[in-house]
Amino acid sequence: MPMQTTKEQVRELLDHLPDHATLNDVMYEIYVKQKIERGMQASREGRVTPHNEVRKRYLDHSR
């Protein structure tokens, strides 16, 4: 399956939003999509922090 262009991705996103969606809704959806894509890329590259380490850091800082 060929990669979608950015324009195609935005069109697909718009097609899934309700007709009454605002520009803020569109920008939020693009923001979330970018964050997910960056996280998935980081995961593929091994740039992740294991859950137990995050939990330990959080618990250590909350005390």
26 neighbors 13 (Cβ within 8 angstroms): yes
Q: Is the pTM of this model over 0.75?
A: no
Report mean pLDDT in 10-residue bins for the chain, 63 residues. 89 96 97 96 95 90 73
Please report the pLDDT score of residue 37 as a whole number.
94
CB 13, CB 30: distance < 8 Å: yes
Select from 37, 15, 35 the least CA-distant residue to 26: 15
Q: What is the model's pLDDT at position 1?
A: 66
Question: For residue 11, what are its two tokens?
Answer: 């069109």
What was the pLDDT predicted at 61? 78
What's the pLDDT at 60?
85
